[in-house]
Each structure stands twice: as structure tokens, then as C-alpha cells.
Structure 1
């Protein structure tokens, strides 16, 4: 009977460890997906920039004399509204990512993935009984502050 209880506890520890591993893998997959979306976003923007540069090289810009002639003001107004709408199409963004902030988000995602991987490794080492006494890194850097005395 006691061996069955011990085996059950061992199985529970094993299942708990596997759940943690699967959870960490799921989180890392989400991070990879966010990075892939960011990469695709950057590639799309680079293609748009390259196509604009190619258009400029081939002289496809319309000059004032090359603009279409309009029979009425309403036709011209409709043309310019369409043109402005074409040029005003928003660029795709990741949820929660603002322009200029993509690098910081990627860096933050990588740091979170690294911390989760370290935590998973420590949990596995602890569960396996192979945890070595390692000094823990400080949680943050303490910076001195100036204290002003009142007179």
C-alpha cells in the first residue's frame, strides 16, 4: 500500500511538472506568433517603401500638367477624395503596439521568454532534486537618490 501511495505522489509530481512545461511552451508559442506578426508587418512596410522608391525612379509621379482634366468640380472633388482615401489607408499594427515602440515590445517579449525559461529550468531542477545552490540575481538595480535637507 505504501508503495502505491509513493507512486501516486511521484505521478502527481510528474504531471505537475509536465503541466508547467506545457504552459511555458504555450506562452513561448504566443511570443513567437507576436514576433512573426511584427516581422510580417516590417516586411510589408519595407515592400511598400521599395515600391514607392521604384515608382519615383521610373518617373511615375504625376506633375500638375499630367493630372487628369475634369469636366466639373464634383468630378475633381470625387477624384481627390478617392486619392486621399487611397493614401490614408492605415498600416497594420500589432495589438497594443504603437509606432516606434515595436523594438521595445520585441525586447520585452524576449526578456519574458528568457525569464520563463529560467523559471522552468529551476522548477525542473528542483523537481528532479538536481537544483544546485546558485546565487540569485538581484531583482533590480538600486540607484542612490539625493536627499535635500530643509533649512
Structure 2
């Protein structure tokens, strides 16, 4: 039964690859979703039969002229292939609410501690210091155990 072993026909392989290359390819991606900035995300799925092992993912920005586009962390992870499934609307809304809560808390802390800073919470510098030298404070010892004269 040695005759049933398939042979490798080089010309046949070349012809099959040429024939597969003439098949139409997908150039327009499938619409996947949109974030709250207005960016639209697309994907062309992998096709191992033509040698395409990874999906092609990209986004179309809401403002095509702006260089500093903002992306949500969830969509960026999907674009870079760190996650397989695109983020859901509920996940985006939940993370947006958490982000807004953190901004509110940071503003409250900034307002609280700005009052303390105005009251003089930091020690004052010794007079006679010049720019470029390290500050010297009366509260700290320069040499441990020795008093300042």
C-alpha cells in the first residue's frame, strides 16, 4: 500500500496558490462598534486558508483632522489584540462612571489640601539661601546629634 502515499507536486502547489490568490479578498471590514468619543471600530476576521492568521482591526476617528485622538482603554486593548471580544456598552458605561467618580474625588481632595497648603503646612527655609542650593530647614538636623548654632 505504498502507492497510496500522497506525493508533493511542486507545480501543483504553485498552481493552487496562484488560483487561491485570484479569489476576491475582503477589503472593507465588518463594523464592530462605537465608543462614546464617536470613534468607529472595524475588523476583518482571520482567514487561515489564505495565510491570514490574525484579524485586522482598526478604527475611524470621529475627527479625522485631529492628531490627538482619545481611545478608551477597553477598545485599545481590543485593537491591540489583548482581548478577543470587543467591549460591551454596559462595560463602557460602568467604566466611564468610575472614571468620573475618580475625577470628582480628586477635585475634592485637591480643594481640601489646597486649604492646608495656604495655611503653611510646609516648613520655611532659612534665610540667606541662594538659588541652586539645597534648602535648609530649622526643623531638620544637618548633622545627627549636633545642634545648630
TM-score between both structures, scaled by the size of structure 2: 0.25
TM-score between both structures, scaled by the size of structure 1: 0.25
Greater relative contact order (CA < 8 Å, ≥ 6 in sequence) = 1
Q: Which structure features the higher share of strand residues? A: 2
